[in-house]
Homo-oligomer: A and B are copies of this chain.
Amino acid sequence: MTLQKLLGIDLPIIQAPMAGVQNSALTIAVCSAGGLGSLPCAMLSLDAMRQELAMIKAQTSKPYNVNFFCHAQPEADAMREAIWREALTPYFAEFGIDTDAIPAGPQRLPFSAEAVEVLEAFEPAVVSFHFGLPEPELLARVRSFGAKILSSATTVDEALWLEAHGIDAVIAQGIEAGGHRGHFLSDDLNAQVGTFALLPQIVKAVKVPVIAAGGVADAKGVAAAMALGAAGVQVGTAYLLCEEATTSAVHREALKSEAARVTALTNLFTGRPARGIVNRLMRKLGPMSTAAPAFPLAATAIAPLRANAESLGSGEFSPLWAGQNASGCREISASVLTRELAGGI
């Protein structure tokens, strides 16, 4: 079965869910063009999620994807948090931040029974997960309203695991991809490989359709992914400058600059490795640091640094998520971009 038929879409182009830089406006624009728009819920409250889903429902009758992280929420670890804040001390001092007054940071909550309840009121056609899959009971509830289920694999082993757990299609996330790595069976970053190596090996290993992610930036990239056996592509970075994205000014500026040529995997902003444009914090503390608390707790102490720096027009303390190929970023409508990408099919 083609990916289009499986998901009920016209074009096998999936807009990657990108928490923090988009809301339903991007989702709707992509759906309207015939692709699969995605709504990332990792950083949304239940109310905000409900609101965004209502917006989508009001503006398109096309299938759309709702995305969740499904990590285990860690216990807060006072010792580790103290070490982390110690490492950040020079920067707190630079901005005159009172570390006793740091509020709870941006939440990244795992998929939950409460979230399923919200979904059940909307019955989205597709639900995708990052960091594996939620527990079987929650997954069964998602499946029961008919949603197709996607998740990311960063290794052949993860693809086989997802297939064995009944996934409808696998997203092969190559090392080029921006944002959080989706690995969940092993945290050995050496096992994380480029799209050119990962995609064909996953295509050979599983029977379900495989969606290519990582480095795909234009119609030629889509054609190349298809040549390697992909049933479709998931594109993130190229959508970051789109009119419908909520990408911040400092993030947009970085994407348009030469700085976008050098990204790195960093755990400084959340506690898990994610790819972003290298900035001052990444140069000084990492990009990978053993001092960073477990995902998603590292974000709390970073939040005031980011806010202060951004208020001065600086992205040096912000997660400037981007993949290794920002050459597809243009300030156009996401609908236009979606149709252009589909030119590679």
A191 and B261 within 8 A (CB): yes
The residue in A193, A196, A261 that gathers the most chain B C-beta atoms within 10 A of its C-beta is A196
What distance in Å separates the Cβ of A281 from its nearest Cβ neighbour in chain B? Answer: 14
Asked whether any CB of chain B lies closer than 8 Å to the CB of A220, the reply is yes
Given contacts A204-B327, A261-B155, contact A194 B174 (CB under 8 A): yes
Count contacts on A: residues with CB < 8 A to the other chain: 43
What distance in Å separates the Cβ of A128 from its nearest Cβ neighbour in chain B? Answer: 21
Asked whether any CB of chain B lies closer than 8 Å to the CB of A287, the reply is yes
Kindly list chain B residues whose C-beta atoms are within 8 Å of the C-beta of A344. 227
Asked whether any CB of chain B lies closer than 8 Å to the CB of A221, the reply is yes
Interface residues of A in 257-294 (CB under 8 A from B): 261-264, 278, 287
Question: A176 is contacted by which of B197, B225, B229 (Cβ under 8 Å)?
Answer: B197
Question: A196 is contacted by which of B191, B229, B325 (Cβ under 8 Å)?
Answer: B325
B287 and A200 within 8 A (CB): no
Asked whether any CB of chain B lies closer than 8 Å to the CB of A77, the reply is no
Interface residues of A in 173-211 (CB under 8 A from B): 174-176, 188, 190-191, 193-198, 200-201, 204
Kindly list chain B residues whose C-beta atoms are within 8 Å of the C-beta of A263. 190, 193
Cβ contacts A231-267/B at 8 Å (1 or 0 each): 0000000000000000000000000000001111000
B278 and A190 within 8 A (CB): yes
B215 and A197 within 8 A (CB): yes
Asked whether any CB of chain B lies closer than 8 Å to the CB of A324, the reply is yes
The answer for the CA separation of A176 and B191 in the assembled complex, in Å, is 11
Tell me the nearest residue of chain B to A195, going by C-beta: B196
Asked whether any CB of chain B lies closer than 8 Å to the CB of A303, the reply is no
Given contacts A156-B261, A200-B218, A218-B200, contact A324 B224 (CB under 8 A): no
Known: A190-B278, A194-B194, A196-B224. 9 other contacts (CB 8 A): A175-B175, A176-B193, A190-B263, A190-B264, A194-B195, A195-B215, A197-B325, A201-B325, A224-B228
